Structure 1
Amino acid sequence: MTNTPSANPPERTAMNQLLPDFLTLGRASCTATPDLFWSRIPDDEQAAKSLCHTCPLLLDCQTWAIDQREDWGTWGGLTATDRLRLRRGNGWWVDLEGRIRHPCGTAQAIGQHRKFTDPCDVCEAAEAQRIEEQRRAVLAVEHALAAGGSVRGYDTHRRLGEEACGPCKAAKARASATKPDRPKGRARRAAQAAAAAGPLALAS
C-alpha cells in the first residue's frame, strides 16, 4: 500500500491518456481545465472539488479513482490525500453527496454533521462524553482548592445536571451573601423608570 500520495505527478503530456472513457465522452469540466485538477496546491484542490460537486459524473469518477488506486490529482471531489485516508480504513468515509467525511465520534465529525444537517447518534454521544469529561476536569481543579470547592465548581455541578457538593454549595452561599440586595423583575424595571423620569419631571 502506498503510504503517501506520489510526490511527483505523471508526465503532463499524459494527462488526457489517463482519463477514463466516461469522462472524455461526458465532457467533464476537468477535461477542459486539467491543470487545476492535477495541482497539489490546497487552493487549487478546493477549487477543483467545488467544480467536481457540480458535475453529474462525480460518483462515477470518484469510484474509478478509488478502484484504480489513483495517487495523483482530484477525482470526483476527492484529492489524493482523501483517497489515501479511505484506503487506510481509519473511519474516513464518503457520504451520499460524494463528500469526504471525518471518522464518526471525532470532534471534527460532529462539526460536519451539524454543517450538513445530518444528525449522527454516535457523534452526538461522543460529543456529550467529551463535554462531560471537560467539566469533570474543571471540577477536579476546583475541588483541589484549599476551600475544597468554588462558585465555578457549583456552576459546573449544575451544568452536569447534578447536585453540588458541600464545599461548592458553601462557596456559592458565601458569594451570594456578599452581594448587595438588588430589586428583581418588575420592581427593578420600575425603579429604573422612576430614576430616568425623575430629572425630566423636575425640568417640567
Structure 2
Amino acid sequence: MSTTLFKVVRSHAAPAIGARAADWRDDALCRSHPNPELWFPKGTDAVSMADERQAKQICTGCPVMAACRRWAVETREDSGVWGGLSERERYNLRRRARSRNTDPAVRVLTFPSIKDAYKALTQKTGRHVIWTGGNEVKVGKARLTPNQVAWQATRRRPPVGRVFTDCETDGCVRHLNDQAMRQARDTQKREAAACGTRSGYQKHKRLGETACETCRQANADADRRLRNTGTTTERSAA
C-alpha cells in the first residue's frame, strides 16, 4: 500500500505540487523525463532490470536525490525507484531500522494465516476495501505488503510479478493488478487498435472469427481502392 502524497501509481513525476510551498519536488529530474516508466520496472527480467539501473543512474545526478530517498523511506513508498533505491532496498533499510528499535508500537504484526491478516486489517467501504494496518505484516516467516496480503486472500491464483493498486482511493486493496493483468490489458489495447483496418479484417479471418463491422467496412474500402487505383493504400488529398 502506498502512502504517497499523490495518487497516480504508475507515474513517477515527483508528488503533485498543488498549492504547497516550493520544496525538493520542484527540482526532481524525474518530473521532466520523457519516460517515467523507467522508475517502475515491470518485473525481474533483463529489460526491467536495465530500466531500474537506468533510473538509478539518473537519480545519482538529481540534485534532490537525498530528499527524495528520505521522503520515500519515511512514507513507506512501496512502488518503484525513489532516491536511487528500489522497493527491496528501501525495505531493507526499514528492516534494519526496526531491528534497532525496541518500541512495541512499531513492530510488524504477526498472523497465523493470510486470511487472518486480511480479516483483521481491512474494512469494507462501499465499493472499496481499505487497509487499516501498517505497511507490512508477517505470516509465518514471510513478510508481506498489504497488496500481497489482499491479493492472496481474495484470489484463486498467486500474483505474477509485482502487485500494484488499481484504484484512486487511498488505501484500497480491493482493486489490484499484477503483471499478467497488465500484459493482458496491453494486448487488448493493441488488438483494439488494429480493428477498423484491412489487417484487422484479415486477423479476424485467421482466427476463424466473424469480422466486426468496422473491419468489414475497412476491408470493403480497401478493395474498392484496389480496383480504382491499383493500391489498397488510402491517398491523402493534395
TM-score, reference length from structure 2: 0.30
More helix by share: 1
If asked which structure has higher relative contact order (CA below 8 Å, sep 6+), I would say 2
TM-score, reference length from structure 1: 0.34
Whose radius of gyration is greater, 1 or 2? 1
More strand by share: 2
